[in-house]
Structure 1
Amino acid sequence: MQIIEVTGHAVRSAVITMRQPGTPLEFVIFPMVHVASPGFYRQVRSRLAACELIVMEGVRGRSAGVSALTLAYRFAPRRRRNGLQLQSTEELLPPGVPVINPDVTAAEAMADLKALPRTTYLPLMVAAPVLGLVFALRGPRAFLDEEMAVEDLPSTFQAEQLADNPILDALSDRRDELLLEALGKIHSERSAEPIRVAVVYGAGHVPAITKGLHRHGYRPREAEWLTVLVPA
């Protein structure tokens, strides 16, 4: 199943609704891209307003290390001609919908990264701002790389690459574990309620989310494509 579709003309994100037979609870997964056109975030916000609970990604607290890493995507929206916007929690969340945030703290995120070998950790911290400058200069076309595409059933070659990537493991393992624990608790406590639970996380987390919900009996039942960006 395709989660993020990248073509030579656009990037699209698949909003996936998962249901379990016999129970009214629905999980609606929003694969996010942290830099996109303003229209993408408006579409997400309008759909979140129809949900009864939002499970939201967001590292809590601040650290110089996390700020350095996020330069990779914070530079791009600064050039107005790019027509891009940085994801903003304040602008994305509709009023009146409860939000939970089962993410890590900034200190925990940096501790996981610092556990990597120095030959991996130091180049990563240097590369982030360089990538940010590349994104800013190239504009939206920097995102039209098919390697950005995300699937929850990757090919054998892709799976081997992902399984052997210590940086991705450090950035996601603990966070995915906390998220799946929170979703499991919602399932156990509220599966009899006719509610829609939005899961708003970066697209790279979505394969773990779908697999985790699959263990509780949830299956994808609907998908809606939202346009993330179209280059000028």
Structure 2
Amino acid sequence: MQIIENSIVGTRSAVLRLTKRGGGPVIVVFPMLHVADPQFFRDVEARLRACDLLVVEGIQGESSALDGMTMTYRVLPADEESGLVEDDIPYGDLGVPFVAPDMSGEEFQEGFDELPWKTRAMLWAATPAVTIGRFFAGRRALLTPDIEVHDLPTRQEELRGEEWDRFFDLLLDRRDDRAVAAVAEVVRDRGDEELEVAVVYGAKHVPGILRGLYRLGYRVVGADWLMAVSARES
């Protein structure tokens, strides 16, 4: 199942609707790009206002490691001609309750500092090159097949070694588990209510979150697409 799709018209995000047998809250998963066309964020924002509860990604607090990694995409809107913006959805002002079960910056930094030194060195060495490359690519960086995300593991993920397992456990797995745990708590405590719960996380998190929701008995029953980055002339 495609989560982020790239085609001749641009890059699209699949909004996934999940239910479970016997009823309970409906879960709507929004796979996010952290940088996209402004209209994408307005479209997501409009849909979130119709939900009853939001489970939102977001590491709060200082982390030099996280700052370095996010620079690789934060550089894209630096060129105003790209037309791209960072996620500017005002989650606290939507009139919808939300929870943010993500790590703190301190937790993330501690986890990063515990990675093997070779892994950390490779990440620090790669960050400037990736950042510069994306700056010059502009919106084209988000209009290639490499941007696609599927619910099945990629060949690259299947071949990653033990050292990289620890990195991806920090970057994705632990944080995915927290999102799923937040949903599980809602299902447990409010399972008899007709709720629509939005899970708003970066697209790379969505395969892991879906696997967690499947374990809770949820299945995808519908999907529709939102244009994230249109293939206009850059």
Task: Note whether the superposition's TM-score is higher than 0.5.
Answer: yes
Partner in structure 1 of residue 133 of structure 2: 134
Partner in structure 2 of residue 192 of structure 1: 192
1:169-207 per-position Cα deviation (integer Å, ceiling 9, x unaligned) = 221122122222111111111121111000000111111
Q: Does 1:125 align with 2:130?
A: no
CA shift in 2, pair 1:24/1:181, >3 Å: closer
Q: Does 1:161 align with 2:159?
A: yes
After superposing on structure 2, the runs of 4+ consecutive aligned residues of structure 1 that deviate more than 4 Å are none
Q: Following TM superposition, by how much is the alpha carbon of 1:36 offset from its aligned partner in structure 2, in angstroms? A: 0.4
Counting only pairs closer than 5 Å after superposition, residues 98-109 of structure 1 correspond to structure 2 as 98-109=97-108
- The residue type paired with residue 131 of structure 2 is G
Q: Following TM superposition, by how much is the alpha carbon of 1:218 offset from its aligned partner in structure 2, in angstroms? A: 0.8
Percentage of matched positions with identical amino acids: 38
Partner in structure 1 of residue 208 of structure 2: 208
Q: Tell me the matched-pair count.
A: 230
Partner in structure 2 of residue 48 of structure 1: 48
Partner in structure 2 of residue 75 of structure 1: 75
CA shift in 2, pair 1:93/1:149, >3 Å: farther
Partner in structure 2 of residue 21 of structure 1: 21
- The residue type paired with residue 139 of structure 1 is G
Which has the higher mean CA deviation after the structures are superposed, 207-216 or 161-170?
161-170
Which has the higher mean CA deviation after the structures are superposed, 4-13 or 94-103?
4-13
Q: Does 1:147 align with 2:166?
A: no
How far, CA to CA, are the matches of 1:94 and 1:205 in structure 2?
24
SS of structure 1 residue aligned to 2:51 = coil
Which has the higher mean CA deviation after the structures are superposed, 16-25 or 71-80?
16-25
Q: Normalising by the residue count of structure 2, what TM-score does the alignment of the two structures yield?
A: 0.91
How far, CA to CA, are the matches of 1:104 and 1:148 in structure 2?
25
How far, CA to CA, are the matches of 2:51 and 2:110 in structure 1?
34
Contact 1:71–1:132, Cα closer than 8 Å, also in 2: yes
SS of structure 1 residue aligned to 2:201 = strand
What is the root-mean-square deviation of aligned Cα atoms in Å? 1.8
Gaps of 5+ in 2: none
Q: Following TM superposition, by how much is the alpha carbon of 1:75 offset from its aligned partner in structure 2, in angstroms? A: 0.8
